[in-house]
């Protein structure tokens, strides 16, 4: 399993739109084969900072999602709202690395 962390900094004027979009599309993302968990977190001290945390069966499943029309459409919308370049990490459980 891969745990994917993505840090996004959203321009203040787009925070509510970002939160609405992620809430409305959460079920669609979870419906992708290989995705078992998705959470969107907002920094308590800086409301422009968000992290998404998602669990993927494999890197292949994550890449199929990232190459999908759904992701491309979503990303093209959200990237207009960025205050800074996003950062992403794909992590594995350190005690279960295979």
Q: What residue numbers bound the domain in which 29 lies? A: 2-91
Is residue 96 in a domain?
A: no
**Paired strand residues for 42:** 50
Structurally, the chain folds into a number of domains equal to: 1
Q: Which residues of 69-91 are buried (b: 16+ CB within 10 A; e: fewer)?
A: eeeeebeeebeebeeeeeeeeee
CATH of the domain at 28: 3.30.70.100
Is residue 97 in a domain?
A: no
Q: What is the pLDDT of residues 80-98, one digit of tens each?
A: 999 999 999 999 988 876 5
Task: Say whether pTM exceeds 0.85.
Answer: yes
Q: What is the pLDDT of residues 48-84, one digit of tens each?
A: 999 999 999 999 999 999 999 999 998 899 999 999 9
């Amino acid at each position: 399993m891969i745990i994917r962390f993505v840090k996004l900094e959203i321009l203040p004027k787009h925070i509510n739109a970002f939160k609405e979009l992620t809430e409305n599309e959460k079920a669609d993302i979870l419906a992708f084969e290989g995705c078992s968990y998705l959470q969107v977190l907002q920094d308590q001290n800086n409301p422009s900072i968000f992290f998404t945390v998602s669990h993927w069966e494999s890197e292949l499943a994550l890449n199929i999602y990232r190459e999908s029309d759904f992701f491309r459409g979503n990303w093209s919308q959200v990237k207009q709202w960025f205050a800074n370049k996003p950062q992403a990490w794909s992590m594995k459980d350190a005690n279960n690395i295979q």
